[in-house]
Structure 1
């Protein structure tokens, strides 16, 4: 059993998330939520549930998708306009309005897609998100100005912050943090550190407020020692023994030396890739030849969100760039512009491999020259591999195996659709074993 699987079982989320409708009902009725689970998996399912709700919504695509405020306060959803939004011209109150799916906390809102804080229908949400504890938490985590931004438009770090704020506003008795610091910028990591310490220790004067009447417990799953905050009282160490099935548990003072040895053992050693796994030879590029050029790129979203403003940037052959910036600064947007996943890129001055984007090139030709590993690509692959995911052409009758994922790298595909040779099979199996995925 992996640490992640243990965390999901503790949170009651093995194979499924608590339905959004259940959570919305609990928020409306003031019911305690027993467990909050913050992880890559809960983030992925949040985005997947939101996208499904939008696709199946009874509202037009011009309506606003679920936002930070509507997610935190589902009981303030502007439901009094439901009937009016559904009526056809000439109909009156009481007429049949057709199929109406159950409303959840990630359902789209019956307001224009560019509605913001001054929209009368959003007044209750605006009041809740700008006052009291919610307003202070949103400000502390840098989401106050984005309280009416759709969830699907949040960066990885911003979505993680939203889940953390949701926990701090709830009355959860158990907090499961599975690599919760991933994707957070340095200020947000400090805020999370302070928030978790305050929530679990009841310390006063910390950065984030919590409900002092609720005694909370936490399960911290991490691969970096610095993310074990506050210092644990107990430790459970898995994956021991020759076959990795043994475990040990006890108080922190007793377990600390073993935990430290475990972290030290995770430091990667230099090793040579399996024979036959070298990447295909790339087309030779002259030193200094431009590969990616942004010639004054500006990306904006309605109503007045500016992500990039006149970005001038060139990546040349042989260079290795580090792109840094806070959550929401536009790092993922840059990747999407290069990959062709942001439609605004086709009307922006972007050049890839010496050719202007949108001048007739195939998106597959571009992607065949790129290697990308990101949170988004990870989520999309997991969605494809999950047989419970339906729609968007991703339905599968069975789960995708680790071996199939590795073998698909021979063909630049998501999923394996070709027979592999004995040599390829041997190479793939060696990769699986070396990475501990077998």
Structure 2
């Protein structure tokens, strides 16, 4: 039995550029010798780029990497494409009218091979014996993938980097590969890029979650709660499920599509001589998602309460909301029916011991808890929301026994069941750890993909951006 030769690999605030096509930013990451990692994330997030850096690909613009291995066994679609491209170039070499036949498979595998005995055994296991004399470029995609795996596995690598290694393999080859990888875990550190959690081998110890070119989270697989939350996050990010439809029986009155949802003209909030908001002009059109940011005391909550009708000064300002000019006899409930609202204060108030499913259904009745009999269609819609959140198995769990982050997800679903024209999320990530924050932001992104609800996302930091929100209003604190 051999031993792992790898030292710690340390990424310290590393920014890597890939030919101006993609950039990884501010990567902090430690890989220890006895760890086996999976890198995961959505398409285009930077998973393959991060794996490629370990193989020396990319230009380091900032930061440092120490402990990079000398001998890397790499299998990836990019490396596969490069090999094919090199082979195709040989067709262009028409020297002396000689037509290139391309490199035969046996040469690709056994030239400079560090472990010919293992290579031969894998050739037989993977069913390539009959193809050794064939040109590499004449192989199918799955066959070229097998050749690359054999090359990497028989190179006596210091570390093995496998980018989607199971894609394109038949069932028998997949099983053999998994068994072989399990047999070398004590001698060869492995880093895999995988989209699907159900393909993750049992020997994986850690998961790196990449999002938008950044290493957003690292999770120890033994941490069951963190692992389950990451699974839920990937479900939300990658699921084909869309926001469930509204209940036709709870249909809201139609709004004029030619009118804005909200229009504030020269809105001012002041207490005595202290001006909090000074002459604010702001129009929110239908389908136009907004981020409202600003420090404490800048008036964010005050502006929100002007919109919802909860601020005493809403009648002294020129405010148009949902077809109503404020102060013309409309009731506050005529306004509120068009608004879904989530805040930390609401979560504090929602202390009743009811099931997760009933929390969502309560959104049909704008109640805290359930005091009316729900319809079959409302139950069905609640089930669809639970499926979107990856919480189908917790439909009957008590709401007050859930994690803080899962409670927040359910309250957002509760606010959305009626498909309000305006969803106000007031500091929805307040009090959440990194993982739960990512979960909430992923759900907001999913809602922004829909067509019926305009999202107003309120937070402290303008740089904390969400995909799908393209309009920004920053408030400043008046001195």
- TM-score normalised by the shorter chain: which range applies? 0.3 to 0.5
How does the TM-score come out when normalised to structure 1? 0.39
Q: Which has the higher Rg, Structure 1 or Structure 2?
A: 2
How does the TM-score come out when normalised to structure 2? 0.36
